[in-house]
């Protein structure tokens, strides 16, 4: 009966959008927009790189969004199809396979009030206590499904309240999430401060989850609350954005079911003026995993997200070793300087030269035993777990990244980018595999682009990584030729330093872009590894085959 009812709702939704489309055509009173994407791969077994075959031969991830808007009303839905899910995306036991409409919503706004019903995404502050979002590259979609109200109480005072459950693939997680957030923009509240160079915003959030469970050993709390306070100060070229979060005891699979509260502190500061930018950040986290299901793991049902403060590398070889946020305890710091050497100087040349230096580092935090009989690693279930002092820094290094980049335009035709990266990567902690130790990697990158008279361009990349750990050293070469509406790419990633097998991971492909439509076709091999975005990661398996991607907006 439930499946029949769901099918009826889906068909009704499609019928409503058909009528709305007719209204849009006849009366020009509304607007329909959307986007579509499908990613498909034909898999070829390749034992030399550990690539396995799949029974279906081809796997497909696809989705399409449709949005209708008319004055104060808007509504939409997303149709998704995983037939079946591409390898490497969350799909334990085939839980993600299927087709349907898991995301639908309607929103009405008038004056100072906005009401949303159905699915929505929301973030309070920096996300330390609540961040609901979608990231297709990671296979993450923890959309909320329920009710949300936003209200401007006064100019500069904004309130948000919500109650919802989280999306869990094609179903919902067991927990109920309730949240409230308030922001006060001081300069807008007080007219006398509207023109002041000093800008001040303050905010606070409260989020709780309800999940009842009769545990045979422990008296687990049905309700778990988390709260945070934040402040943003801006004075001329200087910015500081800080937030502190506290979570009450939340025994879960993440922390081995201990009853210790959690804390997190995030501070971002920046200074910017013409030609110069400086960013300083720090983060301290203790026991801040927060899920709507205490028994969930990996990327499932996270209520919050702890932002990473390390650099997201866009080049292939530095991205081999990305940093994954450690919610059970980490301290991190980052410093970045960006400077443009002025034009018409010895080092700046005719067009100027952009230089950036970035340094980031992450450690564990100091943890001590609560008594002589209770271990810290792993923490003893059913206890307080361990003791720690706020903003303590441990001796164990998780990650370090020093990188230097020079971007220069030599002429109207020639552009270049030179980079050097030195990484220290704690493989045992960040991959959860013991006996591997640290990886020490030196990486150099040369990226050159030559623009032709006919609006075409030739881009070349040479990347080299020297390391004695893990799989040894790598060298990558890439050539990409582009012209209006088209691009062609070929590259080879050679693991020449591997003592066991010096594998080549090559790829060749092309693509076409026309308006809002992009089509890409490629064939090649992909190494097994990890992909991270914003400190959240997924494992990427080795593969060999043909990949097709089609996307369009309307």
Say if domain 111-307 classifies as CATH 1.10.3470: no
- pLDDT of 332: 96
Q: Read off the tokens for 47.
A: 């034992």
φ, ψ of residue 27 in degrees (nearest 5)? -110, -10
Q: Kindly report, residue by residue over 405-446, the tens digit of the pLDDT.
A: 999 999 999 999 999 999 999 999 998 888 889 999 999 999
Environment class of 449 (CB within 10 Å of its CB; exposed 0-12, middle 13-18, buried 19+): middle
Q: Read off the tokens for 226.
A: 């988390």
Q: Kindly report, residue by residue over 504-531, the tens digit of the pLDDT.
A: 999 999 999 999 999 999 999 999 998 8
Domain range annotation of the chain: 111-307
Q: Per-residue pLDDT for 115 more than 60?
A: yes
Q: Read off the tokens for 388.
A: 């720690």
Within 13 Å and on the Cβ side, how many CA atoms surround 245?
32
Q: Per-residue pLDDT for 21 more than 50?
A: no
Q: Read off the tokens for 534.
A: 């914003």
pTM of the model: 0.89
Environment class of 536 (CB within 10 Å of its CB; exposed 0-12, middle 13-18, buried 19+): buried
Distance, CA of 316 to CA of 305 (rounded, Å): 25
Strands 529-533 and 536-540: antiparallel
Confidence band, pLDDT 50/70/90 cuts, at residue 27: low
Higher pLDDT, 398 or 539: 398
Structural contact between residues 148 and 160, judged by C-beta atoms closer than 8 angstroms: yes
Q: Per-residue pLDDT for 475 more than 80?
A: yes
Task: For tokens 């300087």, name the residue.
Answer: 337
Helix (H/G/I), strand (E/B), else coil: 481: strand
Mean pLDDT of 31-43: 96
φ, ψ of residue 421 in degrees (nearest 5)? -130, 135
Higher pLDDT, 6 or 381: 381
* Closest by CA position to 478, among listed 501, 453, 445: 445
Within 13 Å and on the Cβ side, how many CA atoms surround 281?
20
Q: Kindly report, residue by residue over 460-469, the tens digit of the pLDDT.
A: 999 999 999 9
* Closest by CA position to 271, among listed 241, 242, 244: 241
Task: Provide the mean pLDDT of the chain.
Answer: 92
Q: Read off the tokens for 324.
A: 């994954």
Distance, CA of 140 to CA of 301 (rounded, Å): 9
Helix runs in 387-536, H state only = 427-431
Q: Read off the tokens for 17.
A: 């959008």
Structural contact between residues 323 and 430, judged by C-beta atoms closer than 8 angstroms: yes
Q: Per-residue pLDDT for 82 more than 50?
A: yes
Q: Per-residue pLDDT for 8 more than 60?
A: no
Q: Kindly report, residue by residue over 129-170, the tens digit of the pLDDT.
A: 999 999 999 999 999 999 999 999 999 999 999 999 999 999
Q: Kindly report, residue by residue over 238-297, the tens digit of the pLDDT.
A: 999 999 999 999 999 999 999 999 999 999 999 999 999 999 999 999 999 999 999 999
First to last CA, the chain: 36
Structural contact between residues 367 and 390, judged by C-beta atoms closer than 8 angstroms: no
Task: For tokens 């990266």, name the residue.
Answer: 421
């Amino acid at each position: 009966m439930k499946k029949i009812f769901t099918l009826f709702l889906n068909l009704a939704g499609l019928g409503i959008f058909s009528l709305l489309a007719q209204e849009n055509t006849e009366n020009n009173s509304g607007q329909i927009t959307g986007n579509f994407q499908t990613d498909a791969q034909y898999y070829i077994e390749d034992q030399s790189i550990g690539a396995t075959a799949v029974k279906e031969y081809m796997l497909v991830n696809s989705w399409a969004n449709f949005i209708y808007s008319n004055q104060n009303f808007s509504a939409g839905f997303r149709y998704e199809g995983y037939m079946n899910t591409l390898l490497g995306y969350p799909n334990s036991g085939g839980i993600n396979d299927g087709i349907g409409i898991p995301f639908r919503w309607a929103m009405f706004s008038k004056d100072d009030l906005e009401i949303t019903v159905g699915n929505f995404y929301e973030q309070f502050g920096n996300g330390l206590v609540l961040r609901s979002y979608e990231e297709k590259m990671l296979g993450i979609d923890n959309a909320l499904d329920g009710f949300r109200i936003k209200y401007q109480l006064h100019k500069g005072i904004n309130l948000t309240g919500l109650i919802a459950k989280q999306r869990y693939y094609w179903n919902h997680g067991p927990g109920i999430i309730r949240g409230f957030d308030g922001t006060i923009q001081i300069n807008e509240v007080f007219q006398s401060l509207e023109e002041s160079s000093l800008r001040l915003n303050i905010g606070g959030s409260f989020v709780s989850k309800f999940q009842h469970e009769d545990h045979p050993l422990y008296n687990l709390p049905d309700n778990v609350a988390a709260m945070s306070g934040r402040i943003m100060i801006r004075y001329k070229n200087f910015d500081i954005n800080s937030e502190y979060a506290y979570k009450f005891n939340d025994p879960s699979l993440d922390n081995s079911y201990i009853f210790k509260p959690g804390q997190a502190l995030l501070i971002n500061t920046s200074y910017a003026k013409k030609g110069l930018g400086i960013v300083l950040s720090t983060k301290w986290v203790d026991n801040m995993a927060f899920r709507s299901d205490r028994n969930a793991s990996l990327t499932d049902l996270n209520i919050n997200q702890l932002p990473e403060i390390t650099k997201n590398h866009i080049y292939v070889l530095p991205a081999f070793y990305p940093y994954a946020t450690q919610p059970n305890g980490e301290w991190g710091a980052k410093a970045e300087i960006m400077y443009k050497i002025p034009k018409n100087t010895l080092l700046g040349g005719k067009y100027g030269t952009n230089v950036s230096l970035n340094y980031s580092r992450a450690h564990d935090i100091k943890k001590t035993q609560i008594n002589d009989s209770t271990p810290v690693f792993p923490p003893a279930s059913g206890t307080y777990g361990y003791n720690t002092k706020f903003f303590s820094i441990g001796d164990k290094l998780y990650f370090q990244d020093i990188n230097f980049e020079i971007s220069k335009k030599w002429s109207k035709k020639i552009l270049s980018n030179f980079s050097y990266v030195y990484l220290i990567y704690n493989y045992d902690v960040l991959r959860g595999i013991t006996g591997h130790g640290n990886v020490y990697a030196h990486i150099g990158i040369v990226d050159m682009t030559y623009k032709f008279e006919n609006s075409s361009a030739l881009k070349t990349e040479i990347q080299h990584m020297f390391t004695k750990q893990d799989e040894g050293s790598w060298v990558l070469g890439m050539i990409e030729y582009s012209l209006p509406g088209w691009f062609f790419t070929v590259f080879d990633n050679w693991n020449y330093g591997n003592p066991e097998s010096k594998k080549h991971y090559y790829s060749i492909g092309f693509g076409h872009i026309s308006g809002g439509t992009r089509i890409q076709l490629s064939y090649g091999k992909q190494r097994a590894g990890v992909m991270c975005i914003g400190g959240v990661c997924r494992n990427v398996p080795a593969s060999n085959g043909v990949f097709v991607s089609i996307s369009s907006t309307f």
